[in-house]
Amino acid sequence: MNYRHAFHAGNFADVFKHTILIGLLDALKQKPAPFCYFDTHAGAGSYDLRGAQAEKTAEAAEGVLRLLDVKSSPHFLRDYLDLLRSLNPAAIGNELAHYPGSPLIATSLLRETDRAVLCELQPDEAAQLKTLFAHDARVGVHQRDGYAALGALVPPKERRGLVLIDPPFEAQDDEFRAIEAALATAYSRWPTGIYAIWYPIKLREQTRPFHRWFASRKISKTLVVELLRQPDDSALRLNGCGVVIVNPPWQFDQQLRRLMPVLQDRLKVSGPGQIRLDWLTRE
C-alpha cells in the first residue's frame, strides 16, 4: 500500500468524481428520510494543497484550479465551488490552500439525521480521518478493508443511501475483480442502494470486462459516465476516468449531460478529449 492521495488531491479525477458525488448526495436529500453515506476507500478526508506532496506533483493546477472562475455552471459544479470557497475563506483568485476529500465533501452536505461510514486501511490516513471527525457524532471511522466492511455493514438501518467505491488501483486489473466481488455481495444484500464506483482509464480493453460484468450479474439499472482527456491506448498514462452508478437517481443522466461538457472543456489537455454517458443496463 504505497498510494497516498495527498499527491493527487484536486486533480482532474477528483473534480470529476467529487462533482458527481455532490449530485448524488443532493438527489438523496430531496427526500426527508435519513440516509447513510458509505465510503469504502475514504483517504485522509482533507488535503493541504501547499504541502510538499501536493506541490511535488502540482496536479491541482491541471484540475480544480482550472474551475475556480467558472461563473454560470450546472448546479453540481456550483455547489462544489461554493464548498471549496467555504473551506478556503482566505482564498484569492486562482489559489486554494485546502482541498476536501470525499469524506469531508459528503459530511459537509449531510443533514443532522444522516450518517456516514468511512473505511480507510492505511493507519496514518485513518488516524487523520478520526481526528477530523472526532466531534461529529454522525460519522463512524473504521480502519479496515473497505471491501470486507461493505459486505458486512449493508444494508444500513436507514435503507437509503450511497456507497462510494474509490480504490487506489495499485492492483491494476485485479482491483476491478475485487470491486466486482464486493459489489456482488453488497448488491445481493442491498439491491436498492446507490453505488458509485470510480475507475481509471488507461487501456480501453481493461474497462470492457468490468462494464460487461453488470449485465452478467443482472444488475438492472447502471449508468456509466467517463471523461477521457487523451486516447485510451496507453497503459502508462491516466488517460481519463469513469464512474459507474448503480441505481442512479431519477434523471441523473440528464443532469450529467449538462455537467460533463463544462468539465470536458475546462479539464482538456492537448485535444478536446471525449465524454461518454451511457446505460450499461436498463430495466
HEC profile of 168-197: CCCCCHHHHHHHHHHHHHHHHHCCCCEEEE
Residue 124 grid coordinates: 496514518
What contacts 115, CB < 8 A, 6 or more positions away?
Answer: 34, 35, 36, 37, 138, 139, 140, 156, 158
Can residue 140 be called a binding residue for ligand SAM (CB under 6 A)? Answer: no
Among the listed residues 23, 41, 67, 248, the single contact to ligand SAM using CB under 6 A: 41
Q: Which window, 110-118, 166-174, 200-208, 233-241, contacts ligand SAM (CB under 6 A)?
A: 166-174
Distance CA 77, CA 79 (A): 5
Can residue 101 be called a binding residue for ligand SAM (CB under 6 A)? Answer: yes
From the list 166, 174, 232, 278, the catalytic residue is 166
Residue 109 grid coordinates: 452536505
What contacts 10, CB < 8 A, 6 or more positions away?
Answer: 47, 49, 54, 59, 60, 63, 64, 65, 96, 99
Can residue 226 be called a binding residue for ligand SAM (CB under 6 A)? Answer: no
Can residue 7 be called a binding residue for ligand SAM (CB under 6 A)? Answer: no
Would you call 39 a catalytic residue per the annotation?
no
Can residue 42 be called a binding residue for ligand SAM (CB under 6 A)? Answer: yes
Residue 100 grid coordinates: 476536501
- The smaller minimum CB distance to ligand SAM, of residues 55 and 170, is found at 170
Distance CA 42, CA 142 (A): 10
Can residue 142 be called a binding residue for ligand SAM (CB under 6 A)? Answer: no
What contacts 89, CB < 8 A, 6 or more positions away?
Answer: none
Among the listed residues 23, 43, 63, 74, the single contact to ligand SAM using CB under 6 A: 43
Closest residue (Cβ) to ligand SAM? 101
Among the listed residues 19, 102, 107, 247, the single contact to ligand SAM using CB under 6 A: 102
Can residue 168 be called a binding residue for ligand SAM (CB under 6 A)? Answer: yes
- The smaller minimum CB distance to ligand SAM, of residues 53 and 281, is found at 53
The residues annotated with a catalytic role in the active site are 166
Q: Which residues bind ligand SAM (CB under 6 A)?
A: 1, 3, 5, 17, 39, 41-43, 101-102, 119-122, 125, 145-147, 166-168
